[in-house]
C-alpha cells in the first residue's frame, strides 16, 4: 500500500509539474521578441493593414507586456498611412485584453503554486519510500507523462483537423462573454492576431515542451533501471517472509 500511495503521489506531482512546464514554455515563447518578429515577417500582415511588420511585432509584444503586468494599458500609437493613430481604438479590444490579462495572470499564479504543490507531493512520496525513492519518482513521472501525452495527442489531433473549431471551443470555455468575437472588418487586433499566429505559438510550445518532457522521461527510464525496486503492487516483504 505504501508503494502504491508513493507512486500515486509522484504521478500527481508529475502531472502538475508537466502542466507548469508547458505554461512556462508558453510564457517564454510569447516573450521571445525574435520569435514574434519572425512570425510577423512570415505572415506578412503589415502590407494588408498599412503598417510595417516591425510595428506589428512591437504591438504584439506591447500586448504581452500588458498581460505580464509591465504595462498599465494597451494604448499604443503607430504610424498608419503616414499619421499617428491609436492602434487599438475599440472598447471591445480593451475589454477583451483585460479578460485575457486576468486569465493569464491567474494561470501564472497557478503555475507558481503548482510547482510548490508538486514539490510537496514529490517530498511526501520520498518520505513514504525512502529506500526506493528514485525508482518511485521515476515510475510516477513515467505514468504522469504518458497521461499528459495522451491528452495532448487528442487535443493536437483535434487542432490539426479543425483548428478553428478547437480555437472557438477554447474561447467559449475560458471566457464568460462574447468580447473575443471581433469583426474582422473593423478590428485591428483580430487582423494582427490571426489563427495562424496562435497555431504557430501552440506548435512551438508543444515542440519545446515535448522535447523537455521526453528528455526527463528518458532520464526517468534510466533512473528506474539504475535504482530498480519491486513493482508498487507487490506486497512488501516482512522479516519472516
Say what the pLDDT of residue 1 is.
65
Cβ count near 77 (within 10 Å): 10
pLDDT along the chain (241 residues), means of 10: 88 96 97 96 89 92 97 92 88 96 97 97 92 90 94 89 90 91 92 93 94 94 75 50 48
Residue 86's DSSP bridge partners are 77
Say what the pLDDT of residue 13 is.
97
Closest to 55 measured CA to CA, from 40, 69, 38: 40
CA separation for the pair 176, 228 (Å, rounded): 49
Record the cell numbers describing residue 177, joined without a space: 462573454
Say what the pLDDT of residue 233 is.
43
CA separation for the pair 76, 83 (Å, rounded): 13
Q: Where are the domains of the chain?
A: 2-223
CA 39 to chain centre: 18
Say what the pLDDT of residue 228 is.
67
DSSP string, 90-129: -HHHHHHHHHHHHHHHHHHHHHHHHHHHHHHHHHHHHHHT
Residue with cell 499619421: 83
How far apart are the two ends of the chain, measured CA to CA in Å?
Answer: 17
Amino acid at each position: 500500500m505504501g508503494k502504491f500511495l508513493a507512486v500515486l503521489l509522484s504521478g500527481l506531482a508529475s502531472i502538475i509539474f508537466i502542466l507548469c512546464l508547458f505554461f512556462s514554455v508558453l510564457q517564454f515563447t510569447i516573450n521571445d521578441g525574435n520569435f514574434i518578429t519572425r512570425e510577423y515577417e512570415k505572415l506578412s500582415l503589415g502590407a494588408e493593414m498599412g503598417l510595417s511588420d516591425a510595428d506589428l511585432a512591437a504591438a504584439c509584444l506591447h500586448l504581452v507586456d500588458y498581460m505580464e503586468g509591465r504595462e498599465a494599458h494597451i494604448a499604443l500609437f503607430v504610424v498608419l498611412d503616414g499619421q499617428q493613430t491609436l492602434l487599438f481604438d475599440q472598447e471591445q479590444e480593451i475589454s477583451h485584453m483585460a479578460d485575457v490579462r486576468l486569465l493569464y495572470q491567474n494561470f501564472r499564479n497557478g503555475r507558481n503554486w503548482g510547482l510548490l504543490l508538486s514539490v510537496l507531493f514529490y517530498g511526501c512520496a520520498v518520505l513514504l519510500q525512502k529506500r526506493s525513492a528514485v525508482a518511485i519518482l521515476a515510475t510516477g513521472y513515467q505514468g504522469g507523462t504518458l497521461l499528459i501525452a495522451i491528452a495532448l495527442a487528442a487535443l493536437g489531433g483535434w487542432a490539426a483537423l479543425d483548428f478553428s473549431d478547437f480555437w472557438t471551443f477554447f474561447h467559449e470555455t475560458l471566457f464568460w462573454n462574447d468580447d473575443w468575437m471581433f469583426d474582422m472588418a473593423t478590428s485591428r487586433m483580430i487582423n494582427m492576431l490571426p489563427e495562424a499566429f496562435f497555431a504557430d505559438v501552440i506548435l512551438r510550445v508543444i515542440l519545446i515542451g515535448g522535447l523537455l518532457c521526453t528528455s526527463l522521461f528518458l532520464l526517468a527510464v534510466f533512473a528506474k533501471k539504475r535504482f530498480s525496486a519491486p513493482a508498487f503492487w507487490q506486497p512488501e516483504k516482512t522479516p519472516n517472509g
